[in-house]
Amino acid sequence: MSRPAAVRPALPWVIAGIVMVALSLRAPIIAPTAVIADIREGTGLSAAGAGLLTGLPVLLFALATPLASRVIRRFGPETTIVLCLAGIMAGTLIRSSGPALVVLGGTAVIGAAMTLGNIAVPVLIRRDVPWNKVSSATAAYSATMNVGSMATLLGTAPLAGVAGWRWAIAAWSIVTAVGLIYWVLRRRNAPGAPVSSGMASKTTGPAAAPARTPEQRAHTQRIVALLVFAFCGQSAAYYATTAWLPLLLTETRDLAPAASGASASLFQVAAILGAFGVPLLANRTRLSVAAIVVAVFWITLPVGLLIAPQAFVLWSIIGGIAQGGGFTVIFSVIPRISHSDAEAASVSARIQGGGYLAATAAPPLAGWLNTLTGGWTAPLVLVLVATLTYTTGAVTAARLSDRD
């Protein structure tokens, strides 16, 4: 269901393009968190307003997915990615150039632009990556987002110490600019057509998608529903843990803020192992086996923190492997069940729309539970429920896709 080899771009160039996009699809959200006190002092943002610097883009991921799906259908994935990177760069510069309202306006532009890339990349992977390399390409995508996030988290504060917070968060637009140049040149050499509703055969070239029976369509819809369910759990667990793990460690393990932040960063770094571990395991067994392993790791994170909190370093690493692997499992199924580029875009939009709504709600709900109960047991139970939700959806969806 990908392009025939004769017209497919060389795989290294495809992966390079995906990596260029991925570097800018999460890092601009992370950058302000490293200098949030400076931003509040410089703009007068309240605590709630500062929370919008990370919450607003995630909310837009959910709300803007229908628009992103229409853009990619109209202009094709290459042009959509150019628009994505241009929007991220513009939003990053706007965010660093004015008072509080301008900062939030730039943040909204970043979130809307990122949504275009979120939808376009799975379509590119489906179209341009050989079937047996889909999980590896998805792993590169997932891992690069985490690498970009960590580099930004580690580098922004030192840059701010030298040049101030505005220049520090603006400086990361250089990475986006490099990606934009790459994609403008790639689009010029291979113009992206509007997303086709047809299906390309691996051996015979593009062809009209064969009609599917009602049973086949129902089977696909069941898998999509399960993936929405899984991504809701994945996103809720990831964003709730990302938001509150440093404070949890500070309050429960008496760690200094710097030490708790460093420990929590293992949750981000270990995602690289999970992202690349899934395709390695799936190639030797089945994707459903990888999904089961990831699910066990995800569940271990909240259970471990509840039962043996003194081993928080181990649980942070295991949870990080799970969050990187969980993303890869979900987005490896999409190319398997999509019979056209248009369907891949639509499926991706539905999954991400639901998942990022859950991601928007989970951190404040976890914080409210902490305030209500005065402890971290209830928030960790919330994360456990989210990981069980992921388990139910992802494992079942992967099993059904293994049969296709």
Report residue 295's pLDDT band, with 50, 70 and 90 as the boundaries. Answer: very high
Residue 270's pLDDT is: 92
Phi-psi region at 196: left, alpha or beta (left = phi > 0; alpha = psi -120 to 50): beta
Distance CA 270, CA 325 (A): 10
The closest of 115, 118, 133, 127 to 196, measured between CA atoms, is: 127
- More confident: 396 or 124: 396
Closest CA to 131 of 342, 346, 279: 279
Segment 153-179 shows an average pLDDT of: 89
Domains and CATH numbers, the chain: 1-195 (1.20.1250.20), 213-404 (1.20.1250.20)
Per-residue pLDDT at 188: 76
Q: Is the pLDDT of residue 345 over 90?
A: no
Q: In which band, very low, low, confident or very high, does the pLDDT at 265 lie, cut at 50, 70 and 90? A: confident
pLDDT in tens, 351-361: 999 999 998 88
The full 3-state SS of 210-277, as one line of letters, equals CCCCHHHHHHHHHHHHHHHHHHHHHHHHHHHHHHHHHHHHHHHHCCCHHHHHHHHHHHHHCHHHHHHH
At 201, the pLDDT band (50, 70, 90 cuts) reads very low
Counted residue by residue, the chain has a size of 404
Residue 57 to residue 36: CA distance in whole angstroms: 16
Q: Is 290 a residue whose pLDDT tops 70?
A: yes
pLDDT band at 205 (very low <50, low <70, confident <90, very high): very low
Q: Is the pLDDT of residue 200 over 50?
A: no
Q: pLDDT class for 256, splitting at 50, 70, 90? A: confident
Which helix (DSSP H) or strand (DSSP E) does residue 98 occupy? none
Q: Distance between CA atoms of 149 and 325, rounded to whole angstroms?
A: 16
Q: Average pLDDT for residues 304-333, to the nearest whole number?
A: 94
Looking at residue 178, its amino acid is V
Mean pLDDT value of segment 270-299: 93
The predicted structure's pLDDT at residue 204: 37
pTM (2 d.p.):
0.81
pLDDT over threshold 90, residue 45: no
pLDDT of residue 8: 59
Q: Which residues contact 319 (CB under 8 A, 6 or more apart)?
A: 241, 267, 270, 297, 298, 300, 301
Q: Find how far residue 246's CA is from the centre of its chain.
A: 21
| pLDDT at position 398 over 80 | yes
Task: Say which residues have a Cβ less than 8 Å from residue 213's Cβ, sequence separation at least 6.
Answer: none
Strand partners, 199: 207
7-40 burial, b at 16+ Cβ within 10 Å, e below that, comes to ebbeeeebbebbbbbbbbbbbbbbbbbbbbebbb
What CA–CA distance (Å, rounded) separates 290 from 283?
9
Name the band, by pLDDT with cuts 50, 70 and 90, for residue 93: very high
Nearest to 388 by CA among 327, 275, 302, 324: 302
HSE toward the beta carbon, residue 12, CA cutoff 13 A = 0
Over 70: is that where the pLDDT of 34 sits? yes
Give mean pLDDT, residues 68-74. 88
What integer best gives the mean pLDDT of the chain? 86
